[in-house]
Amino acid sequence: MEEPRILLEVTNLKKHFPIRKGVFKKIVAYVKAVDGVSFVIRAGETLGLVGESGCGKSTVGRMIMGAYRPTAGSILFQPPNGEPAVDLATIDSAHMRNLRPHIQMVFQDPFASLNPRMTVRQILSEPLVVNKVAHGRALEDRVRELMELVGLQVQHLNRYPHAFSGGQRQRISFARALALYPKLLVADEPTSALDVSVQAQIVNLGLDIQDRLGLAYLLISHDLGLIRHFSKNVVVMYVGRVMEQGPAEQLFGRPRHPYTEALMSNVPSARSGQVGNKIILRGEPADPINPPPGCPFHPRCLYAQDICKQVVPGLDEVGPGHRAACHFSATLDLTGCDALGCAI
């Protein structure tokens, strides 16, 4: 089967935030929030970006949205109308505005991301009016179409966000993001603020929309279960660096990096009798200002050797499309989901 065309190609992306101190705001250090991340998103597919808080996963999303300018690297976006690819890392804001409709975002907190003083109709109309996509009758039709697309009732169009539950608000966020027929949706923890039963509704909505519209997702989450349910390819980040990346099936079935293994074993299982094979990591995630030398994960790693403290492992290919940044990825026999029986 022919693979879908490449929509977004991120190469060696870096973002270093300067830390300034003193009267002259001298730069004393850098937070290496993202330090060399590369991946490809193809049309209609989902890339899952997973990691703990502070690993830089949201920063990657923001750079793609153009909220931050990368320190280095490129973000090549292929516009749908056959124009040549554009590098979002260096694009000027006027051009970015033209591309904006193609890349949209859904945020974590549906209580903070909707303007409380606007009705749903205004919220959904705004992107259409600002981008001069529709007006008058066509605008009204599109707004109604969006409401139906995300499973909301059109008679609620004149209500304000506070009249909706968390799940419904997240549906409004989706509708707003879909208004301009985007090709890529960046979803940053889209279900984390919701209750369990409502999360399932949003997961189903996300799957339906993707199938119907052929959207690509960049799904940013700490929830391995969600990532596994959606993603074709997965990137595991730790302190700004990629620890492992590859097709979801291989990565979850047989992880090649000890960090992935530990993350998977730490997901609490909703079935009893699964306790006991948990890997309790020592310590806490490394400080991105002052990451440890060598492999950033070595102080917490169960398998660390002397070499891990000195040499930064390269992100080497361990299988087709599957890469891991571990000196021992070839020799370690790590337990994946199948053997672990974990509920993710």
- Binding of another protein by 273 (CB under 8 A): yes
CA 119, CA 140: separation in Å to the nearest integer? Answer: 14
User: Least distance (Å) from another protein to the CB of residue 195?
Assistant: 4
Q: Concatenated DSSP letters for 288-313?
A: TTSPPSSSTTTTT-TT--HHHHHSPP
Q: Does 289 bind another protein (CB under 8 A)?
A: no
Q: 95-114: which residues touch another protein (CB under 8 A)?
A: none
Is 6 among the residues that bind another protein (CB under 8 A)?
A: no
Site for another protein in 16-35 (CB under 8 A): none
What is the phi/psi pair of residue 307, to 5°? -60, -30
Q: Measured from the CB atom, is 11 or 201 closer to another protein?
A: 201
Which of 280, 306, 331, 333 is close enough to bind another protein by CB under 8 A? Answer: 280
Residues 113-132, interacting with another protein (CB under 8 A): none
Residues from 178 through 197 that contact another protein (CB under 8 A): 195-197
> 């974590």: which residue's tokens?
108
Region 35-74 residues binding another protein, contact defined as CB under 8 A = 52-53
Say which residues have a Cβ less than 8 Å from residue 45's Cβ, sequence separation at least 6: 4, 216, 217, 232, 233
* Whether the Cβ atoms of residue 315 and residue 325 lie closer than 8 Å to each other: yes
> CB of 95: closest distance to another protein in angstroms?
35
Please give the structure tokens belonging to residue 122. Answer: 């205004």
339 interacts with another protein by CB under 8 A: no
Which residues are CB-neighbours of 129 under 8 A, at least 6 positions away? 135, 139
- Cβ closest to another protein, residue 262 vs residue 324: 262
Q: Tokens at residue 328, please?
A: 């021992």
153 binding another protein? (CB under 8 A): no
